[in-house]
Structure formats: structure tokens, C-alpha cells
Amino acid sequence: MPLSSEITKSFVTVARDYWRLQADISALAAILETARTLQQPPKQWKELFLRARETPGYREIAEKFEPQLAKLEKAAEENEVIEILRQFPQSKFPN
């Protein structure tokens, strides 16, 4: 069954946002761990966070499923979309 390209594009946008937020959580967790170690928050925590977004580790998390998302954007049939979606792990939120 053909799918609306709007539905697929919207899903891909949400998925990209999700993976970026997962990377944000990792970066902020690292800053919190530093604060715990120093027993005070870093004064430039916002700058540290913005710099963390430029690191390879951040990009690795944020762009982890970019190949599948690119395929998903081009998928037109429901079966094709389902097959691509099966390649994504079930989401796990950090504790």
C-alpha cells in the first residue's frame, strides 16, 4: 500500500529529533558527572554543552541511523517502510 510522503517525512523528522535528543542527554550527563566530581557545576556548562555537540561522539549518536532514515525518506510502499523500521532498536530511555 502506498504511503503518504508527508507521513514518512514527518516520521523521519521526529526520528532525527529523537536521536539528537539522545545525544543531548549523553552530553548533559557527562557535564553532570563533571559537576559531581568537582562538587559544583561548571560555570560555562552551556558552552561545554554546545562544544559537546561538535564532537565525533555526539555526531555518532545523533547520526547513528541516518542511512536507514535516508532510505525511509525515499520509501513509498508500506512493506518497504516496515522493513526499514525493523532495523531500528526499541527505544530505551536513560535512567
Question: For the chain, which residues score pLDDT lower than 70?
Answer: 1-3, 91-95
3-state secondary structure of 59: helix
CB 62 within 8 A of CB 18: no
Which residue type sits at 21? L
The predicted structure's pLDDT at residue 88: 78
Query: Could you tell me if 16 and 69 are in contact, meaning their C-beta atoms sit under 8 angstroms apart?
Result: yes
